[in-house]
Structure 1
Amino acid sequence: MNSLITNVTVAGIFAGPSFQSEMISQSLLWERLDILDQNVNWYKVRQFDNYEGWINKFYTIKNESSNLNFATYIETNQIGVIHSYPDEECNPIISCTFGSRLPVVETKKIKNQWWHQIILPNLNTGWIQDNGFKKGKSIREIIKQIAELFLGTPYVWGGRSSYGFDCSGFVQTIFKFCGINLPRDSKDQFNYGNLKEHSKEENNVGDLIFFLKNDMINHIAISLGNDNYIHSSGYIKINSFNSKNENYDDSLFSMYYCSKSIENLIK
């Protein structure tokens, strides 16, 4: 199947071949997009999670990377900057967001800082500084560690980047970083087969919490344990099921539907 590579920091994926249509998701730098159809300067594409939508041609480049076989650097800053040379003072080429996966040509230490020379989708190269991120000891710890990095990040409908997330895009991004590929939308995340339902009193860090409105799953959050949960609603924030907690939200409490354990995903 013919494919494209996303050639910009973040590109909108739309419901139809027009910027006037709804943005339903996003694609990050270097993500592959399988071509399903074309309408003038728009491609209908399928993403890594099987989500389908339309992207404008100018966000993409023809996939010429099938023969590339390099190590991968995963950006762990909210926003990373790719420079022309391994020097923070030199001109930037492009930025990338958290979770972007970049092919690495070489890594070297310069002035006590580690730098990665990476390949760009147009096969030019640039340099990005490693921020020395240290993961927690367990998947649950890493989920909490990463999720809390984004506190205050705005809600963006269809968003799945550091510039803004919708609720399911936030959850998908955190879990993808941990090697767990969840579906894109909250209703599909709810139906994901390896999750086991339990009561909210049994919530552990990293478990998923689902909310219902008009008989439809319409919101998702990540448990932080101790009745607390983190989610994207207006912005990424922490709320609580404990009515005595200052972060208690009665409207969310009334919409609560169920919780599901991720234990089968992390064994």
Structure 2
Amino acid sequence: MTDRRLTPANTRVALAGYARQGQSEVLAKPASVRVPVADLRAAPDGVRDRQVLWGDGFDVLERRDGWAFGVARRDGYVGYVAEADLGPNMTPTHLISVRATHLYPTDDFKSEVVASLSFGARIRVVDERRKFMEIEGGFFVPKPHIRPIERPFSDPITVAQLFFGTPYLWGGNSAFGIDCSGLVQAAFLACGLDCPGDSDMQMSMGAPASAPYRRGDLLFWKGHVALCVDDEVLIHANAHHMAVAYEPILRAIARIEAQGDGPVTAHRRM
């Protein structure tokens, strides 16, 4: 059975090589996200599956009635985004490397903020000023808030900890709202490691492991995932705290089972 989240086809069109009867075979047309955060939906006006960030590549298969159907380039997730949230394809040079930053219209921190960008947003630097970098589009970002794409982080846990206190948001992928699998994906992608978007997909990462727990281990429950900070503490985005929070591992295991969500279903070591 095919997984619609990873199948580049709808009832009308399909990426070349995926077409079935009644579907037109099309080539992807590269675009990039041009808003701070865009919802990636299962259907036009449907529920949010995930989110894509400023500068993320999005390969469009169809534009129809104000919606673009296509594939998120970072992980192959398929869905619909508002057509207005996309712009021309952009090759990023840097990413936002702090929890969040601001876009300014000039290289002056006293100027009116244009927008806020989340950790992981991708930008293309076109010029350097004393304290700012000018990016494609004529906006400015503080130099200390960016990192070259070719210089990834080395520790996913360090990245996850940047999100401490971020509000919980089902399907969220940004510093303005994030869920359990979004946190894991942000942490691993920033380290240059492939990572799918949902927790059931992430269970294929790494290798089976058992206690004692180690930094960087992943613990899974039905519909949930957490990262081990060390042998006693984990960090996860969760609806109990409604935020990204630390929690003792054994306490979290007991609490989650007591609230009716079952035992740990997998322990994976990267």
Does residue 1:105 correspond to 2:122, yes or no?
Answer: no
Does 1:128 pair with 2:153?
A: no
**Percentage identity across paired residues of the two chains:** 25
1:12 has 2:39 as partner: yes
Residue matched to 1:26: 51
One-letter identity of the residue aligned with 2:36: T
Q: Give the corresponding residue for 2:20.
A: none
Q: Which structure 1 segments of 5+ residues have no match?
A: 213-217, 263-267
> SS in structure 1 opposite 2:157?
helix
Q: Which runs of 5+ in 2 are unaligned?
A: 1-27, 148-152
Contact 1:38–1:44 (CA under 8 A) maintained in structure 2: yes
1:89, distance to aligned residue in structure 2 (A)? 0.5
Query: What letter is aligned with 2:172?
Result: G
Instruction: Give yes or no for contact 1:209–1:222 (8 Å, CA) kept in 2.
Output: yes
* Distance verdict in 2 for CA 1:233–1:15, change over 3 Å: same
The answer as to whether partners of 2:107 and 2:129 remain within 8 angstroms in 1 is: no
Alignment CA distance shift 1:51-1:132 (3 Å): closer
2:110 equivalent to 1:89: yes
1 CA distance for matches of 2:76 and 2:143? Answer: 31
Superposition deviation, residue 144 in structure 1: 2.4
The whole-number CA distance in structure 2 between the counterparts of 1:153 and 1:34 is: 29
Q: Relative to 1, partners in 2 of residues 1:157 and 1:146: Cα closer, same or farther, differing over 3 Å?
A: same
Deviations 1:99-156 (A, max 9, x none): 11211112232xxxx321111xxxx21111022689xxx83xx322221221121111
AA aligned opposite 2:215: V
Give matches, 1:96-245, under 5 Å: 96-109=117-130, 114-119=131-136, 124-131=137-144, 139=154, 142-192=155-205, 195-201=206-212, 203-212=213-222, 218-234=223-239, 235-243=243-251
The corresponding residue for 2:17 is none
2:95/2:146 contact within 8 Å kept: no
Question: In the aligned structure 1, how far is the partner of 2:133 from the partner of 2:214?
Answer: 36
Indicate yes or no: 2:85 matched with 1:59: yes
Q: How far does the alpha carbon of each residue in 1:34-63 deviate from its partner, in whole angstroms, 9 at most, with x for none?
A: 112233111111002110111111111233
- Partner of 1:26, secondary structure, is strand
In the aligned structure 1, how far is the partner of 2:134 from the partner of 2:80?
A: 31
Contact 2:169/2:178 (<8 A) preserved:
yes
Match of 1:252 among 241, 252, 256: 256
Contact 1:199 1:258 in 2 (8 A): no
SS of equivalent to 2:106: coil
What is the Cα deviation at residue 94 of structure 1? Answer: 2.5
Which TM-score applies when normalising by structure 1? 0.80
Distance 1:251 1:149 in 2: 25
Q: Which structure shows the higher strand fraction?
A: 1
1:258 Cα offset (Å): 2.4
Distance 1:132 1:37, change over 3 A: closer
Partner-residue secondary structure (3-state), 1:131: helix
| Structure-2 change in CA distance of 1:182 and 1:226 (3 Å) | same
**Is the Cα contact below 8 Å between 2:60 and 2:69 reproduced in 1?**
yes
Alpha-carbon spacing, 1:2–1:133, altered in 2? closer, same or farther (3 Å): closer
| Contact preservation (8 Å) 1:81, 1:95 | yes
Letter in 2 for 1:61: G
Please give the alpha-carbon distance, in whole angstroms, between the structure 1 residues aligned to 2:180 and 2:145. 28
